[in-house]
Amino acid sequence: MTDAVNDTTPGERSRALLTFAVAAGRFLLMLAITLFGLLAVTFFIGRIVPVDPVLAVVGDRAPAHVYARVREEMGLDLPLWHQFAIYIGNVFRADFGNSILTSRPVVEDVVRYFPATLELATLGTLLGTIFGVPLGVAAAVKRGKFADHFVRVIGLVGYSAPIFWLGLLGLLVFYSKLGWVAGPGRLDVTYEYMLTPVTGMVLVDAALAGDWAVFRNAISHIALPSALLGYYSLAYISRMTRSFMLNELSQEYVTTARVKGLSETRIIWGHALRNAAVPLITVIALSYAHLLEGSVLTETVFAWPGLGRYITNSLQNADMNAVLGGTLVIGIVFVAVNTFSDLLYRLFDPRTR
Amino acid sequence: MAELAAPSGKSSLREWLTTSEPRSRAQARLGNAYRSWVAFSRNPLAMFGLFIVLVLIIVAIFADQLATHSPTVGGDLRTERLQPPSAAHWLGTDNQARDIYSRLVHGSRLTLMVVMLVTVIAMPVGLLIGTVSGYMGGWIDAVLMRITDIFLAFPRLILALAFVAALGPGIVNAIIAIAITSWPPYARIARAETLTIRNSDFVVAVRLQGASPFRIITRHIMPLCVPSVIIRVTLDMAGIILTAAGLGFLGLGAQPPTPEWGAMIASGRQFIIDYWWVATMPGIAIFVVSLGFNLLGDGLRDVLDPKAEK
């Protein structure tokens, strides 16, 4: 390791360091601008709400001076840029205001509901990756054959069927008719309060407590929604894997490996897939971010107490603080996952350095 | 235009279209379109997609003639509620004793309207921002692309949800919200196309003739960006339909008694165990139509942009 460093002159090293610093600076600047944009969008949405927030507090029979005073207290008489500055300050102190519906600070609610969403999306992505990558590889290797058409059909159905509809059909068939899985919710009512939340993720908490009855029950509840999300992620991941693998398999190094007499298995899994793995990481991260978002509809169908359901519930009750807080949190997580995948890409692909 | 009148009979028309020496611009264009069509029609899946979309359009136009019952007024609530599919009600009735088939037929208009309006709003916006950004470069490019990135970074459904929350539920606001979240990819594509042609000779020639940037962008660059943006829009249409249905399902899109497919699924949700058809039928409609747009988009991409998918 030191050899490599000693080979370079101090000038080259400092230049490399400078390039790195500039790249890192640009990266951080982009991130900051994107987050600033997120804040601007949520702020803007909060301002165009047709409901007058002052009237919502004082009621429509309040005398004019009370109205004016409350308006002043809420900071609504300040210029827009000033309000926006206050808003940014509040967000940085993790203060999204109180939820009207739960009468708790929105941040507390988010912390309470987010683990359920995270649990669902993580399991979904895991399932999607475990099944999606091999399917995509098979489709690329057996191009134009049955496996390829099969993967194509799976993908088309995944891209075309509304997820909430498939969820309802799934409940109808696997819960109501066949009785293979448990119904909506995270746990049966009997198990509901047996678990002390540690991480907020039922599966993890049950495993930590060693309570396997609860664990089995949780599995039976999460099986259907996570399989559904997993299916959507599979549709995307297998399609992308196929196209990356086709690209790799047409490269010359594959021919070289064949000429060298390597087994097809080693060429496919050891060489081609390893090279396709770098862009695949980005795809998987992207699909993860989309599942976090896409769980809004799934959570509604399965009465899953996650962030998506929190947002839709608040929406139906015109609870804007909760809606915007939840939206902002999902937006930030979305940006964070994308940024993370971008970093991984730079780390693993030497060409991007 | 003597050469335009030349073809007579089917085979000579084909020859006229496929000739390697077209005598007029119109002939060359028609010939190109014909060759694309031949390539497209060799793809059975793409043809199937086109068929579905055409059926959707026909059903939407002739909804009044095709529907057997009123889409909004139900029958007798005592006897005709939640009936299974039968000769009288082909796809059964819902909890308001309304004929599901007729509701689906009328719902096709809403679906088509959503797709068309979102396209009409989002495509020009994306095209304009992308071409201006690519052609002007510099700080204009930087600012416009950052704005695009911010909208791309935001999860689409959540952003649409938040917008609808602010604007109030309803089909028009749902369309606006979806359009606001749809344009960024088009801007990206248009910009990429613009960057490849902004320094080509014909643009330089037009510039030397004294054409204004506005004229160059709208007359010379935009038309060349349209095909790739159209492909992307077609591929997006299924997503637009699904997002609209999702908003409808959450009660944020079209309001009752409008026969919107997503809202129909939502209203059938509470009866799903005993009366499965109420929620299943609209789901099938959404699925088939999205499938049609997906197949059509894939086919168009294969014909117009062979590089994209190997």
Which pLDDT score, from 0 to 100, does residue B4 have? 52
Residue pair B46/B40 in contact (Cβ under 8 Å)? The answer is: yes
Whether residue A312 has pLDDT greater than 90:
no
Which pLDDT score, from 0 to 100, does residue A4 have? 46
Which pLDDT score, from 0 to 100, does residue B2 have? 45
Rounded distance, CA A48 to CA A40, Å? 12
The tokens for A232 are 């959507």
Which chain B residues are within 8 Å of A157, Cβ to Cβ?
A: 287, 291
Which residue of chain B has the CA closest to A149? B45
In the block, which residue shows the tokens 């499965």?
B276
Instruction: Return the domain boundaries, chain A.
Output: 23-92, 107-352
3-state secondary structure chain A: CHHHHHHCCHHHHHHHHHHHHHHHHHHHHHHHHHHHHHHHHHHHHHHCCCCCHHHHHHCCCCCHHHHHHHHHHCCCCCCHHHHHHHHHHHHHCCCCCECCCCCCEHHHHHHHHHHHHHHHHHHHHHHHHHHHHHHHHHHHHCCCCHHHHHHHHHHHHHHHCCHHHHHHHHHHHHHHHCCCCCCCCCCCHHHCCCCCCCCCCHHHHHHHHCCHHHHHHHHHHHHHHHHHHHHHHHHHHHHHHHHHHHHHHCCHHHHHHHHHCCCHHHHHHHHHHHHHHHHHHHHHHHHHHHHHHHHHHHHHHCCCCCHHHHHHHHHHCCCHHHHHHHHHHHHHHHHHHHHHHHHHHHHHCHHHC
3-state secondary structure chain B: CHHHHCCCCHHHHHHHHHCCCCCCHHHHHHHHHHHHHHHHHCCHHHHHHHHHHHHHHHHHHCHHHHCCCCCCCCCCCCCCCCCCCCCCCCCCECCCCCEHHHHHHHHHHHHHHHHHHHHHHHHHHHHHHHHHHHHHCHHHHHHHHHHHHHHHHCCHHHHHHHHHHHHCCCHHHHHHHHHHHHHHHHHHHHHHHHHHHCCCHHHHHHHHCCCCHHHHHHHHHHHHHHHHHHHHHHHHHHHHHHHHHHHHHCCCCCCCCCCCHHHHHHHHHHHCCCCCHHHHHHHHHHHHHHHHHHHHHHHHHHHHCCCCCC
Which chain B residues are within 8 Å of A323, Cβ to Cβ?
A: 161-162, 165
Q: Which one of 1.10.3720.10, 3.50.50.60, 1.20.140.10, 3.40.50.2000 gives the CATH number of domain B40-66+96-304?
A: 1.10.3720.10
> Predicted confidence band at A335 (pLDDT cuts at 50, 70, 90)?
confident
Domain A107-352 has CATH 1.10.3720.10: yes
Nearest to B279 among A30, A168, A246 (CB): A168
Q: Tell me the average confidence (pLDDT) per consecutive run of 10 residues in chain B, 310 residues long.
A: 52 81 84 84 89 95 89 82 85 87 93 93 94 90 86 79 82 90 91 88 91 90 88 89 91 86 90 88 95 90 63
Which residue of chain A has the CA closest to B298? A156
pTM of the predicted model as reported, rounded to 2 decimal places: 0.86
| Chain pair A-B, CB pairs under 8 angstroms | 146
- Within an 8 Å CB–CB cutoff, is residue B152 touching chain A? no
Reported as a single tens digit per residue, the pLDDT across A83-95 is 888 888 888 887 8
Which chain A residues are within 8 Å of B164, Cβ to Cβ?
A: 315
Are B238 and A159 an interchain contact pair (Cβ–Cβ within 8 Å)? yes
Which pLDDT score, from 0 to 100, does residue B161 have? 83
Are A327 and B161 an interchain contact pair (Cβ–Cβ within 8 Å)? yes
Instruction: Return the domain boundaries, chain B.
Output: 40-66+96-304
Residue pair A91/A39 in contact (Cβ under 8 Å)? The answer is: yes
Average of per-residue pLDDT across A123-138? 94
Average of per-residue pLDDT across A275-295? 84
Which chain A residues are within 8 Å of B151, Cβ to Cβ?
A: 41
CB contacts under 8 A, B 53-92 vs A, are none
Residue pair A125/A230 in contact (Cβ under 8 Å)? The answer is: yes
Are B294 and A169 an interchain contact pair (Cβ–Cβ within 8 Å)? no
Are B283 and A45 an interchain contact pair (Cβ–Cβ within 8 Å)? no
Which residue of chain A has the CA closest to B293? A160
Which pLDDT score, from 0 to 100, does residue B1 have? 43
> Predicted confidence band at A72 (pLDDT cuts at 50, 70, 90)?
confident
Nearest to A323 among B162, B251, B294 (CB): B162
Percent of chain A with pLDDT over 70: 94
Q: CA triplet B73, B78, B84: central angle to 5 degrees?
A: 75
Which pLDDT score, from 0 to 100, does residue B309 have? 46
Handedness of CA B261, B263, B269, B270 (dihedral sign): negative
Which pLDDT score, from 0 to 100, does residue A98 have? 80
Average of per-residue pLDDT across A130-141? 93
**Distances in whole angstroms, Cα of residue B256 to Cα of each of B27, B72, B88, B93:** 51, 9, 24, 16
> Predicted confidence band at A3 (pLDDT cuts at 50, 70, 90)?
very low
Q: CA triplet A271, A277, A283: central angle to 5 degrees?
A: 155
In the block, which residue shows the tokens 């952003």?
B159
Are A311 and B286 an interchain contact pair (Cβ–Cβ within 8 Å)? no
Nearest to A164 among B155, B249, B251 (CB): B249
- Within an 8 Å CB–CB cutoff, is residue B154 touching chain A? yes
Distance between B166 CA and the closest CA of chain A, angstroms = 4
Whether residue A168 has pLDDT greater than 80:
yes
Q: What is the ipTM of this complex?
A: 0.84
Higher pLDDT, A21 or B4: A21
Reported as a single tens digit per residue, the pLDDT across A209-230 is 878 888 888 888 999 999 999 9
Are A156 and B238 an interchain contact pair (Cβ–Cβ within 8 Å)? no
Reported as a single tens digit per residue, the pLDDT across A290-301 is 888 777 889 989
